[in-house]
Homo-oligomer: A and B are copies of this chain.
Amino acid sequence: MSRSNPRVLAILERAGGFASAQEVYRLMQREGESIGLTTVYRSLQSLVNDKIVDVLRREDGEAIYRLCGGAHHHHLVCKGCGETIEIEGGAIEKWAKTMAQEFGFREVGHTAEIFGLCPKC
């Protein structure tokens, strides 16, 4: 489970450090990489175990992975056309930290997304 890890990692980086297993798989196929879906899942799991990668959940329950530590951002998504803008979440980081502290939580992460209609829609 070692030859594929770096390849999966590379894809995650290029993807902006934010993708589901299925997406990683599709991306790798598109780039001509030869890898099986099973291996993608296994690599992602081992990367998570090694705390190199973080796992979150989309609204629909699909697991999404991202490099941890790497500057993370949030999304502003258009309900109409699906356009997505990466935005800063400084306020959120602080909020998350404060709240976690107040309730004694450790190893804290968070998700946040804004959605609405973009100017064009």
- Identify the A interface with B (CB < 8 A): 57, 59, 61-63, 76, 78-79, 85, 87, 89, 91-92, 94-96, 99-100, 103-119
A103 to chain B: which residues have CB within 8 Å?
Answer: 76, 85, 87, 118-119
A13 to chain B minimum Cβ distance, whole angstroms, is 24
Q: A61-B62, A104-B118, A105-B116 are in contact. List 19 more A-B contacts (CB 8 A).
A: A76-B100, A78-B105, A87-B103, A89-B95, A92-B112, A96-B114, A99-B114, A103-B119, A105-B114, A106-B117, A107-B116, A107-B117, A108-B114, A108-B116, A109-B115, A109-B116, A110-B114, A111-B112, A111-B113
Give this chain's copy count. 2
Q: Which of A59, A61, A85 has the most C-beta atoms of chain B within 10 angstroms of its own C-beta?
A: A61
Alpha-carbon distance between A96 and B104 when the two chains are bound, in angstroms: 26
A87 to chain B: which residues have CB within 8 Å?
Answer: 99, 103
* A118, B94: Cβ atoms closer than 8 Å: no
A100 with B116: in contact, given A61-B63, A92-B92 (CB under 8 Å)? yes
A116 to chain B: which residues have CB within 8 Å?
Answer: 100, 105-109
Shortest 9 CB-CB contacts between residues of A and residues of B: A108-B116, A105-B116, A104-B119, A61-B61, A112-B112, A91-B95, A110-B114, A96-B114, A57-B57
